[in-house]
Amino acid sequence: MRVLGIDPGSETLGWGVVEGTGSKYEAVDFGTVRSSTKLSFSKRLLSIHHGVSEVIEKYQPSVLSIEDSFYAKNASVAIKLGQVRGVILLLAEQKSLEIAEYAPRLIKQTVVGYGSAEKHQVGEMVKILLKLKEVPKPHDAADALAIAVCHFHHAGLSSKLAAAKK
């Protein structure tokens, strides 16, 4: 299974590709899609669409794992992140990818063991879990890898639950 993890952002969107089965996985690549704040928001969304589309074409994931919505103190920020998520979810549907959404606290709990973990803790655990030489930078890419790793830990459980319901 090849999973594309996405940490949505309107200025910097993190992505990370992880491949493996069950609890054995490794990083394939990671990076960011950056959008200039000088562009109109609709043009930034288009830039994000193009950037993530290129990642999907290059790495051919079977699953898109994305951070679920969260409550932001600033409603404007929450709305913009929702729009970015919408673009990514639409793109995943267009590419026929399986979609998995995980709450930020669950991702941190899964990767670090603590749902209120700090960004640097997530980065350090991603480095350890994926046997990387250094913490992925920027933190958006480390977060995206954490989201992909989270899917590996929860996908097996979801499959077993679905099979048990049949």
CA-CA distance, 3 to 65, in Å (whole number)? 7
CA-CA distance, 100 to 80, in Å (whole number)? 20
CA-CA distance, 35 to 89, in Å (whole number)? 18
Whether 140 is a known active-site residue: answer yes
Neighbouring-strand partners of residue 98: 63
Whether 68 is a known active-site residue: answer no
What is the Cα Rg of the chain in Å?
A: 15
**Which of 11, 29, 57, 67 does the annotation list as catalytic?**
67
> How many Cα atoms are found within 13 Å in the side-chain-facing hemisphere of 47?
18
Whether 93 is a known active-site residue: answer no
| DSSP 8-class letter at 95 | T
**Which of 93, 98, 140, 143 does the annotation list as catalytic?**
140
* Catalytic site positions: 7, 67, 140
